[in-house]
Amino acid sequence: MNIVVLCKQVPDTESKIKLLDDQSGFAEADIKWVLNPYDEFAVEEALKLREAGKAEKVIAVAAGPKRAEDALITALAMGADEAVLVEDDLFNWAEAYQVAQALAAALKEVDFQLIICGKQAVDDDSAAVPGMLAELTNIGQMTVVSKMELNDDTVTGWRDVEGGAQEVLEGKLPLIVTANRGLNEPRYASLPGIMKAKRKPFKRVGLADIGLSSLEPKTKVVGWSLPEPRAEGKMFEGNSDDLPQRVSEVVKLLVDEAKVL
Amino acid sequence: MSKKRIYVGGEWLIGSTDPADVFTPEDFSKEHEMIYETTMDFVRNEIMPQMERIESKDFEFSREIHRKAGELGLLGTDVPEEYGGMGLDKVSTTAVGDAMGRAGSYAVTHAAHTGIGTLPLVYFGNEEQKKALLPKLASGEWVGAYCLTEAGAGSDALSGVTRAMLSKDGKHYLLNGEKMFITNAGFADLFCVYAKVDDEHFTGFIVPADTEGVSTGAEEKKMGGHGSSTRPVILEDAKVPVKNVLFEVGKGHKIAFNVLNLGRWKLGASCTGGAKQCVSEAVKYAVGRTQFNKPISSFGVIQNKLATMTVRAYISDSIQYRLAGLFDDKLDTLDGHAKKEGMENAKAIEEYAVECSISKIYGSETLDYCVDEWVQILGGYGYCSEYPAERSYRDARINRIWEGTNEINRMLIPGTLLKRALQGRLDLLGAAGKLTQELVGFSPLGVELPDTPLAVQEQMVAQCKKIGLMTAGVAVQKFQQKLIDEQEVLELIADLAIEIFAMESGLLRAQKQLDKNGEEGAKYHIAAVKVYVDDTVPKIEKWAKQLLAYVEQGDTLRTQLAAVKKLARYQPIDAISLKREIAERAIELEAYPLFF
Ligand SMILES: Cc1cc2nc3c(=O)[nH]c(=O)nc-3n(C[C@H](O)[C@H](O)[C@H](O)COP(=O)(O)OP(=O)(O)OC[C@H]3O[C@@H](n4cnc5c(N)ncnc54)[C@H](O)[C@@H]3O)c2cc1C
């Protein structure tokens, strides 16, 4: 059996995000793009299963603009066997349903029993694609697992629930499993892995190639905003003699200005 | 794509280089980028959080990191595939060294292992030796070390007194002596030891650490690099099989010098990585630290420091990758058979011995400059070991001392260039002769410059070459064979050469960016080069005049000084504003702003 891992390209969390002047999106110039860290867990888990002889091939799949190929190459360098990219500039600003439709269409051509992906992408944190994809491909889903086992035709998954307890689930293949932190320790792309990645099968398809003409969104991003910059701290200096005076000054400001008391 | 021109070593002194022929960090392939990122991730996740443990000399732990590095391929970029490595290009090795430069004491272990510990075998080992030993070094199962220095033989490395005597049955050499300051000695498995056969023939030997008669002395108490091991290696009738002679008896100096060339370039790369890290850390701190109700990054003096650090790191980076590109282009010309021959590779690399010395000097002095300013930007916190600046400041200092002190390397630069001129490999004399004629009617006022962003800088680099060539020519004519005894003159010639190569490397990189991305896209590259050239031209003029004032007198001197003045004629630019722009960019990104 083959395992599909979904690989989204996201801005590195250290990148400085700047909005475009018209607030319609953010500036890409200074962004460093990486493979979504939760998807790294997915890739690692799939590779481990393959190494344990429980899967034949690991196929990395993404929908994105051209630059998203780098996320797939990272997966290949980590050890995935093949990659498929549904390439279209539309995915620059796509919402979850568009992505899910594209992935579902692309997966029709792929022979797989199990999909593993991150529980969410760290850029928009919407966590919506896996559920939609499960619906569109008509398979089950098991979300946010921090431990999983692959049996003959089932998956057992462990989920952390409130208060440190764990829930143990079993699901029948084919299945989508979404990965939580703790599932494993993703490997680095080794130098031999990096050099091999170039020679692995890499399939690019356009929307038309997978039978799609347009992708209707269900929601639309209508605006962005950045958090307010943190206000400067304020020092109240003096000595022990005027301490009571300063305390009342602080209290007054907390009540009148900061309105926290 | 047309084939790149192969430039001979030192050619940049007398001719110009096409920016398209130069390798720059912006030319990284996807693989280079990933190699760099993997190394950075490894340093960030496996090494930085464990720095205290490494610094405490937990060598078992250092070995564990080393093995992990081996698993990732970080020890095998220079080792051919058939011996367990990857045989990658030199840009890949540079990228690993660059990223590893941030790794404190492990960077020392790594550099000694992959450089002087492994390369003697790669380039000079025979098939049997390479098959047996290289896979263990490339995988990190073994740690390598290099034993050249002795208490009485430091810079004068060939004067060592460690001796090797053939046993009566002709099967072994018995090695006796004491090597000093040996990096990795405390946990190394394999030593490359130099000794004189019959007290005469300087020879390299492969000596496994468990060889009978081999032991190590006490750890040195050092200023920095506390997590690296530095010990004497003691040889008392160490019994080394004859088959462990490396290369040939009496040819040890060939190994030693070739390996040093590579070591110098690798050191330059890792120092440059360290310098870029200083910039990033200093900017982050400056943005977060408030005094007088403002982040200190808003103060002009701090911005000036950040910009100057950035510019130096940029130039150093340009040098390191340009040199890697020169290596790769030259090695590409080797045919299939020669490619496999270690010696052929070493010969190709020797072509750039001068550039290797420059890379080492420039990288180590850039790092020292940057760590010093990093400490300064942190103020009192920079002096306290709670912040990494304090350790980095101490760690950096060794780089001006080992792999040939910077003084020795400075002496090597003019020495090697002259030797090449006499061998007919580099037409310095022809160029100097042409220049003399050209200078007769030269006037800088008559020069019409194209209206391009870096035209002035290009012109000034060309003029500085002429100044260098002219003054060096005067010195050679005056002292002839005795020039070797005029060290202050040699030092000035070296400094002229270093700064010419430095300016030009930055210039070519910025020009390449300009050609590719236009003036706006290359904005900070252009600014960095303008600032650097502005700072350097007056230095070149000063050094040239100092040299001439020593060598010549009277009317001849006056004529020559006038020629230098004419050649160095330059109207200063507004460097302060440019530096502010560079600093503001670094502050915006909170990082060294000129990588990728
Ligand atoms: C931490 C550490 C690790 C080391 N690791 C290794 C290792 O792994 N393997 C190894 O073989 N060696 C190693 N070394 C040795 C190192 O390479 C030498 O220390 C270095 O070559 C300088 O030699 P020296 O210390 O004897 O100084 P000296 O040669 O005594 O030099 C003293 C001063 O005189 C100057 N000087 C010397 N000769 C000249 C000259 N002809 N012209 C002008 N100036 C001159 C030098 O530049 C220097 O400033 C290490 C050293 C240290 C401190």
| Boundary of a domain, candidates B346, B379, B407 | B407
ipTM score above 0.90: yes
pLDDT at residue A5, rounded to an integer: 98
Asked whether residue B421 is domain-assigned, the answer is no
B386 a catalytic residue: no
> Residue A60 and residue A103: Cα distance in Å, rounded?
11
Q: Which residues of chain B have pLDDT under 70?
A: 1-3, 446, 596
Are the CB atoms for B224 and B395 separated by under 8 Å? yes
**Which of B38, B76, B293 lies at the smallest CB-CB distance from A194?**
B38
| Secondary structure element (H or E) that encloses residue B22, with its range | none
List the domain range (segments joined by +) for residue B113. 14-144
- CA-to-CA distance for B493 and B410, rounded, in angstroms? 9
Torsions phi, psi for B356 (to 5 deg):
-65, -45
User: Atom 40, ligand 1: which residue's CA is nearest?
Assistant: B408
Tokens linked to A128? 């919506």
B96 and B226 share one domain? no
Q: Which atom of ligand 1 is the closest one to the Cα of B222? A: 1
Q: Which residues line ligand 1 (CB under 6 A)?
A: B 112, 146-149, 154-155, 181-183, 222, 225, 230, 398, 401-402, 405, 407-408, 411, 487
Query: In terms of Cα–Cα distance, which of A174, A116, A188, A113 is closest to A148?
Result: A116
Cα B308 to chain center, whole Å? Answer: 20
Domains in chain A: boundaries: 2-210, 230-261
Average of per-residue pLDDT values in chain A:
93
Give chain B positions within 8 Å (CB) of A232.
290, 293
pLDDT digits (tens, 9 = 90+) for B192-220: 999 999 999 999 999 999 999 999 999 99
Indicate which CATH number applies to the domain containing B38: 1.10.540.10
Number of domains composing chain B: 4
* CA distances (Å), origin B45, targets B60, B92, B101, B346: 18, 21, 15, 35
- According to DSSP, residue A26 is labeled B
Q: Are A221 and A124 in contact (CB under 8 A)?
A: no
Q: Are residues B170 and B276 in the same domain?
A: no
Q: Is residue B1 part of a domain?
A: no
Note if the bond before B593 is cis, omega within 30 degrees.
Answer: no
Report the distance separating Cα B403 and Cα B357, nearest Å: 9
Q: Residue B196: which CATH number?
A: 2.40.110.10
Note whether B35 contacts A: Cβ–Cβ < 8 A. Answer: yes
Residue B86 to residue A191, Cβ atoms within 8 A: yes
CA distances from A83 to A6, A162, A202, B83, B286 (A): 10, 37, 5, 31, 43
Q: Which of B40, B67, B72, B523 to mutate to test the interface with A (most CBs of A within 10 A)?
A: B72
Beta pairing, strands A57-64 & A2-6: parallel
Are B269 and B228 found together in one domain? no
Q: Are residues B132 and B152 in the same domain?
A: no
- Asked whether the predicted pLDDT for residue A258 surpasses 90, the reply is no
CA distance B271 to B361: 10
Among B187, B401, B488, B490, residue to substitute to test ligand 1 (most atoms within 8 Å of Cβ): B401
pLDDT of residue B288: 97
Closest residue by CA, ligand 1 atom 11: B148
Specify whether B438 is located in the same domain as B549. Answer: yes
For residue B293, the chain A residue with the least C-alpha distance is: A232
Atom of ligand 1 nearest to the CA of B185: 8
| Residue B144 tokens, joined | 């390598």
Task: Provide mean pLDDT across the span A176-204.
Answer: 97
B5 lies in some domain: no
Q: Enumerate the H helices of A64-210 as residue ranges.
A: 69-78, 96-107, 129-137, 191-197
Tell me how many residue pairs between chain A and chain B have CB atoms under 8 A apart: 47
A190: nearest CB among B37, B73, B92: B73
- Chain B residues whose beta carbon lies within 8 Å of the beta carbon of residue A77: 34
Is position B447 within any domain?
yes
In a domain, B2, yes or no: no
Residue A261 in tokens? 């008391």
Q: Atom 23 of ligand 1 has which residue's CA nearest to it?
A: B154
Please, are residues A37 and A118 in contact by the beta-carbon 8 Å criterion? yes
Q: What is the DSSP string of B388-431?
A: HHHHHHHHHGGGGTSSS-HHHHHHHHHHHHHHHHHTTSS-HHHH
Task: Using CB atoms within 10 Å of the CB of residue B583, give its burial: 0 to 12 exposed, 13 to 18 middle, 19+ buried.
Answer: buried
Residue A29: predicted pLDDT: 84
The predicted structure's pLDDT at residue B1: 44
Name the 3-class secondary structure at B191: strand
- Residue B414 counted as domain residue: no
Measured by CA distance, the residue closest to atom 48 of ligand 1 is B405
Tell whether B403 and B260 lie within a shared domain: yes
Q: B84 and B65, same structural domain?
A: yes
- What's the confidence (pLDDT) of residue A94? 84
Tell me, what's the pLDDT at B376?
98
B145 Cα nearest atom in ligand 1: 8
Whether residue B172 is found in the same domain as residue B229: yes
Judgement on whether residues B398 and B442 belong to the same structural domain of the protein: no
pTM for this structure?
0.94
- B3 assigned to some structural domain: no
Domain end: B109, B144, B179, which one?
B144
**DSSP codes of every residue in A123-162:** TT----HHHHHHHHHT-EEEEEESEEEE-SSEEEEEEE-G
Write the class of the CATH domain A2-210.
alpha beta
Q: Is B467 an 8 Å CB contact of chain A?
A: no
Q: Are residues B156 and B283 in the same domain?
A: no
The alpha carbon of B224 and the centre of ligand 1 are apart by a number of angstroms equal to 16
Shortest alpha-carbon distance between residue B586 and chain A (Å) = 12
Relative to the CA of B220, which ligand 1 atom is closest? 1
| Of the residues B198, B218, B246, the one at which a domain ends | B246
Label residue A234 by pLDDT band (50, 70, 90). Answer: confident
pLDDT at residue A243, rounded to an integer: 85
A189: closest CA of chain B, how far (Å): 6
Mark whether B449 and B555 lie in a shared domain: yes
Q: What is the pLDDT of residue B64?
A: 97
Which residues in B lie closer than 8 A to residue A73 (C-beta atoms)? 30, 34
Give the residue from chain A lying closest to B292, CA to CA.
A235
User: Does B530 lie in the same domain as B435?
Assistant: yes
Q: How far is the CA of B237 from the centre of ligand 1 (A)?
A: 26
